[in-house]
Amino acid sequence: MANNPLRNIPSVNELLENPSLKNLVDKVSHHVVVSEVRTFLDTLRTDLQQKASELNVPTVGELADRIATWIVTDQKPTLQPVINATGILLHTGLGRSPLADEAIEEIEKVSRGYASVEVDLDSGQRSQRILAVEKLLRELTGAEAALVVNNNAGATLLALAALAKGKEVIVSRGQLVEIGGSYRLPEVMEVSGAILREVGTTNKTRIGDYENAIGEETGALLKVHPSNYVVTGFTSEASLPELVALGRQHDLPVIDDIGSGALVDFQQFGLAGEPIATESLAQGADVVLFSGDKLLGGPQCGIIVGKKELITKITKHPLTRALRVDKMTLASLAATLRLYRDPEVAGEAIPLLRLLGTSAENLKNRAERLAPRIAEMPAIATAEIVADHAYLGGGSVPSQQLPTWCIALTPNERSVDELAGELRTADRAIFGRIQQDRLLLDLRAVFPQEDMIILETLQSLPGKPALPNEGEATEAPASLSEETPA
């Protein structure tokens, strides 16, 4: 009992008298600092009780310094800008597509104060928020009507619930997609209340398979673009025109989930086979679904375009209200769509299209300029340029490969994983990809103005990384080191 470490824990006031925490009170706020100190001491107390008396309590000064460091780290937002040197352009973990300046300006304009989200400025009457983008979507896709919801998963859920609840929806077994783990078509279908009717096989589905499955219970025909895989070899799928003809014959709507949402032909970037919304509608699809933050290069949203009668039916479904988008999404989507009115303007102004349109030669030149400078830096042993392939999305297919150039780094005095960690946690986070014991910085998705930040960040790394808790006299409880106690 004599050396009960709990007794040695300083009081909140004692700690606040210390210079490191005193300074923080001025910089952050009294309220935040006091509450963080309390949380920290609570955790320390629990640790000491659990881990018994072998732990020593650090001095008041040490403790104050550690708490101050922890508060500063804790103040840093979890959501931060990142330099994407992974070579994956639509990286879901890194927020998919960057927005155009025009989109960001519109968000700012309508978000600072109030905005005409659901009022008609001429009449002063209540109106619908979709009008912010509907005309543009109709013009750019040729659709009769449009609706925008939170994302394409929401669009799929809503379209199925509104058009086929309690009915069978016929899908090819080759198209039962999973996108990024949490999205699986069969599960979304189940939640919507529609009944999945699989037809054909993984590699071959004929129009006759759909035809044989049609009956009293059928509510719709669904076609899904396999965005992240290809079935090759002995394969076939029913074409959209075939499905449309069959749908017409039986008075069934054809829903086409094209996924990536290209509004222009991506063949120009060497990307084959990406369906275009306009073409799908032109071939007769009744409802077309796609994401706003994939190939469209806009904000996260799900876009539904198609026949007026069906869009009206979908719009009236209660889920529409649950999945509705806010003014920021509408403003940035409208601004992005306006850029597409002139494809040349879109190619310049939409960051994703600009990244895709950059020549490999250009990337090579940049890599050649950066590599020798990086090779001189204390944290880096070697830096060489290598040609490689970049990809559209995480689970991308071979037809979505893009030529690219990377700077391959071997570190000094640390492992490749450690170097990658230092770059991720730098003031400006940088994500590369590790390949054969080297850290590759792929320039395909790096904006030219970020080259300088990469140089500065690498330059700031010491030749030898500081060991955590080096020279620490007292053993710290787990909560005192890396982990935040909350």
Q: Which is nearer to ligand PLP, 18 or 260 (CB)?
A: 260
Please identify the residue of the shown chain whose CB is closest to the bound ligand PLP: 259
Tell me which stretch binds ligand PLP (CB under 6 A): 20-28, 71-79, 147-155, 416-424.
147-155
Following DSSP, what letter does each residue of 286-305 receive, concatenated?
SEEEEESSSTT-SSS-EEEE
DSSP 334-385: HHHHHHHTSHHHHHHHSHHHHHHHS-HHHHHHHHHHHHHHHHTSTTEEEEEE
DSSP 65-101: HHHHHHHHHHHS-SS--EEE-SSEEE-GGGTSSPPPH
Report, in Å, the least distance between residue 208 CB and ligand PLP.
24
Tell me which of 32, 47, 138, 183 binds ligand PLP, using CB under 6 A. 183
Quote the CA–CA distance of 165 and 272 in Å, as a whole number.
35
User: Of the two residues 146 and 370, which places its CB atom closer to ligand PLP in the complex?
Assistant: 146
Asked whether position 177 contacts ligand PLP by CB under 6 A, the answer is yes
CA 245 to each of CA 213, 249, 254, 271: distance values in angstroms, whole numbers, following the listed order: 15, 6, 10, 29
Name the nearest CA neighbour of 205 among 247, 244, 176, 164.
Answer: 176
CA distances to 253, 329, 395 from 71, rounded to whole Å, are 57, 33, 38
- Tell which one of 302, 306, 411, 477 touches ligand PLP (CB under 6 A): 302
Q: Min. distance of Cβ 301 from ligand PLP in angstroms?
A: 8
Which of 99, 179, 254, 325 binds ligand PLP (CB under 6 A)? It is 179
Q: Which of 18, 84, 141, 291 binds ligand PLP (CB under 6 A)?
A: 291
Whether the CB-CB separation of 219 and 252 falls below 8 Å is answered with yes
How many whole angstroms separate alpha carbon 334 and alpha carbon 221? 30
* One residue of 18, 39, 152, 336 binding ligand PLP per CB under 6 A: 152
Q: How far is the CB of 438 from ligand PLP (least distance, A)?
A: 31
Q: Which is nearer to ligand PLP, 37 or 194 (CB)?
A: 194
Query: Shortest gap between Cβ of 303 and ligand PLP (angstroms)?
Result: 9
Contact letters (x/-) for ligand PLP, 198-237, by CB under 6 A? --------------------------xx-x----------
CA nearest 110: which of 293, 330, 313?
Answer: 330
Which of 172/291 has CB closer to ligand PLP? 291
The nearer residue to ligand PLP, 183 or 447, going by C-beta atoms, is: 183
Order of all β-strands in the sheet with 195-199? 145-149, 302-306, 287-291, 254-259, 218-224, 168-172, 195-199
Token digits for 111? 């978000």
- The nearer residue to ligand PLP, 92 or 435, going by C-beta atoms, is 92
Q: Which residue(s) pair with 287 in the sheet?
A: 255, 306
Contact 136, 291 (CB under 8 A): no
* Tokens (6 digits) for 408: 């391959």
Residue 151 lies near ligand PLP (rule: CB under 6 A)? yes
How many residues in the shown chain lie near ligand PLP by CB under 6 A? 15
Minimum distance of ligand PLP from residue 243's CB (angstroms): 16
Q: Where does this chain touch ligand PLP (CB under 6 A) — which range of 71-79, 109-117, 253-261, 417-425?
A: 253-261
Q: Which stretch binds ligand PLP (CB under 6 A): 54-62, 110-118, 146-154, 194-202?
A: 146-154
For the CB of residue 308, give the shortest distance to ligand PLP in the complex, in Å.
Answer: 24
Q: How near is the Cβ of 96 to ligand PLP at its closest, in Å?
A: 8
* 284 in Cβ contact with 240 (< 8 Å): yes
Site membership for ligand PLP, residue 153 (CB under 6 A): yes
> In the complex, what is the shortest distance from the CB of residue 285 to ligand PLP, in angstroms, rounded to a whole number?
14
Q: Tell me which of 106, 237, 256, 257 binds ligand PLP, using CB under 6 A.
A: 257
| Amino acid at residue number 225 | H
Residue pair 477/32 in contact by the 8 Å Cβ criterion: no
323 is a site residue for ligand PLP (CB under 6 A): no
Closest separation in Å from C-beta 90 to ligand PLP = 9
Number of C-beta neighbours around residue 331 at 10 A: 24
Q: Binding residues for ligand PLP, per CB under 6 A?
A: 151-153, 156, 177, 179, 183, 224-225, 227, 257, 259-260, 291, 302
